Structure 1
Amino acid sequence: MRSGSSFVAHLLTQSPTTFYTEEPAREFFGQDSVSARDQGRDVLDILRDILLCNFSIRPHYFAKRISGTHFHNRDNIKLCLSVNSLCWDPATDSALCSAANVHLLRLVAVDLGDLSPLLKERDLNLKIVHLVRDPRGVVASRHRLIEDVPSLGEDLTNVTAICGRYSRDLNESSIIAKDYPNRYTLLRYEDMTKRTEINARQMHHFLGIPYTNLVARHVADHALGLVPEDSHPYGLSRNGTAAPFRWRRAMPFHLVKTVQDECSRVLHAYGYRVFRSESELRDEALAPLVPMLPGFQHLKRYAAGGRA
């Protein structure tokens, strides 16, 4: 959560050739009666069924998808507003899904390593866009989110848990990048917001989504700042210059240092500058992003066993 994935998914789903599914694994987490092993199997099963457009055998999930629980599924919302009877028929969703060239799933609650079994299934032809965001920015954003939605609880800002998740994904990313170099790519949220058009074109090419004039115009509106920045905590528009690094001006240095200590290996792996003092943190002349080694060498260098 707060990784920028909604913003990136929004840019990648402007083509009518995509079929988008919002965080389908969400409902499986927090179920105390379900073992971790069964939970993982359930998640893989539903992801497989969505990728294969098998909505009819998932009535419980389909009802949530249509009712608006997964509220970024724009095709479903439009369909429900125009032809309500078709909207509630899972066969309609299966047909829309089957007609699409690319099935795009946004996954936040699932560890990267949990997807490995699906990469082995050739009929799925799964590709992974591994989106990362500076963990200091994630922590700062979550603190602001809790101010707006206190019911989410302070566990959301647990630095040890956040960095633990980053570390697990980093370790797995090195393996996946080695085994599936043409089906894995790493994308920094900060790069997507600062160089929106370049990175949007690269992601469309990687995923096999046509970069049409309609897509280009929508991306250009974001890149040129023609879309007003959305202040809503779940908003989709961003100010590419300010939004990714706003935390540098407001986040207390003691909290920045806590995240840096916990996430040291992750920061180095993904090319994020470590600030040694508050003066460095506030010095806008110091670029927060540092060059990364080509060909996923950063991942290999800093994955489990690598130096921080």
Structure 2
Amino acid sequence: MSDLCRKYKGRLASKLIRANLELLRPLIVDDNINLKIVHLVRDPRGSPLSRIKYTLSKKISPTVRSQFPKYGRLNPLNLFSVTPETGDTVRGMCKWIRKNAVVSPDLLPAWLQRRYYLVRYEDFADTPLKVTQDLYRFVGIPFKKEVQDWVIKNTDVTVSKNDLFSTHRNSHVAATHWIKDLTEMEVGQIEEECQDVLERMGYEPYSQLIHREQSTR
């Protein structure tokens, strides 16, 4: 990647899925590349829902489906814990967040100071314009009107599109779908496995979210 960064004259953006921060360290420390890292993290209860929907869009055997009422969908679909652990499972994802997410700027190592920006997907979903402005400021790029228009167009969709891979979504609805679409059993399984991660990232327990939702009706 360092060769690519040096060849490209200008700004280069690259998306890395569940990368280890330490893998990026040589680019900054050894190669002296002006690298900015935007770290997007999602509620561990929201990500599995997307994987459940994707997996169920394929052919699932009746034997596997018959386990859903008793065990929920995560374990029968191999989305909870398998060996080797990967970010595609609940356990693997939470392990990765524990290892890589830096919540407080005070905890950043020297090589990441002013180079690392943590974004919760749910914060972007609630205030997409504000978070985008903050990101552009962090990277050092002017926030132009055409960017603002694009963000509004792609995060404020009033008509739901039945497409798992659509880039046009109501961002708030997409971020909170899991509250209604996961069963209480499935939420409990995730919260038990990832309680420390949820607390560390500032996510409320399911019981509090439900209580607040009911009190606002």
Normalised by the shorter chain, which TM-score bucket? 0.7 to 0.9
State the Cα distance separating 1:284 from its structure 2 match.
Answer: 4.8
The match for 2:49 is 140
Ranges in structure 1 where 5+ consecutive residues have no aligned partner: 1-46, 54-96, 288-308
Change (3 A) 1:281 1:224: closer
State the Cα distance separating 1:121 from its structure 2 match.
Answer: 3.6
Q: Which letter maps to 2:3?
A: D
Instruction: Tell me the distance in 1 between the aligned counterparts of 2:190 and 2:134.
Output: 30
Q: How does 1:106-185 map to 2 (within 5 A)?
A: 106-121=15-30, 123-149=32-58, 154-157=77-80, 158-170=89-101, 177-179=108-110, 180-185=112-117
The match for 2:64 is none
Asked if the contact 1:131/1:188 (under 8 Å) is kept, the reply is yes
Asked if the contact 2:155/2:169 (under 8 Å) is kept, the reply is no
Q: Which letter maps to 1:209?
A: I
The match for 2:203 is 272
The match for 1:233 is 164
Instruction: Tell me the distance in 2 between the aligned counterparts of 1:247 and 1:162.
Output: 16
The match for 2:12 is 103
Counterpart check, 1:200 vs 2:154: no
Asked if the contact 1:196/1:222 (under 8 Å) is kept, the reply is no
Counterpart check, 1:285 vs 2:213: yes
State the Cα distance separating 1:133 from its structure 2 match.
Answer: 0.3
Q: How does 1:2-81 map to 2 (within 5 A)?
A: 47-53=1-7
SS of corresponding position for 1:129: strand
Change (3 A) 1:200 1:171: closer
Change (3 A) 1:281 1:220: closer
Instruction: Tell me the distance in 2 between the aligned counterparts of 1:162 and 1:122.
Output: 29
Change (3 A) 1:139 1:249: same
Asked if the contact 2:27/2:35 (under 8 Å) is kept, the reply is yes
Post-superposition, which runs of at least 4 consecutive aligned residues in structure 1 deviate over 4 A?
171-176
Asked if the contact 1:112/1:173 (under 8 Å) is kept, the reply is no
Asked if the contact 2:156/2:170 (under 8 Å) is kept, the reply is no
Q: What is the aligned residue count?
A: 191
Asked if the contact 1:249/1:282 (under 8 Å) is kept, the reply is no
Asked if the contact 1:102/1:207 (under 8 Å) is kept, the reply is no
Asked if the contact 1:128/1:184 (under 8 Å) is kept, the reply is yes
Percent sequence identity over aligned pairs: 26
Change (3 A) 1:167 1:225: same
Asked if the contact 1:140/1:247 (under 8 Å) is kept, the reply is yes
State the Cα distance separating 1:162 from its structure 2 match.
Answer: 2.1
Ranges in structure 2 where 5+ consecutive residues have no aligned partner: 61-75, 81-88
Q: How does 1:254-269 map to 2 (within 5 A)?
A: 254-269=185-200
Give the TM-score taking structure 2 as reference length: 0.75
State the Cα distance separating 1:150 from its structure 2 match.
Answer: 5.3
SS of corresponding position for 1:273: coil
Q: Please, what is the CA RMSD of the aligned residues?
A: 2.9
Give the TM-score taking structure 1 as reference length: 0.55
CA offset digits 1:94-134 (Å, max 9, x no partner): xxx42xx3211111042233222223145311111111000
- Out of 242, 246, 250, the residue aligned to residue 177 of structure 2 is 246
State the Cα distance separating 1:170 from its structure 2 match.
Answer: 3.1
Instruction: Tell me the distance in 1 between the aligned counterparts of 2:104 and 2:173.
Output: 29
Q: Which letter maps to 2:35?
A: L
State the Cα distance separating 1:219 from its structure 2 match.
Answer: 1.5
State the Cα distance separating 1:224 from its structure 2 match.
Answer: 4.1
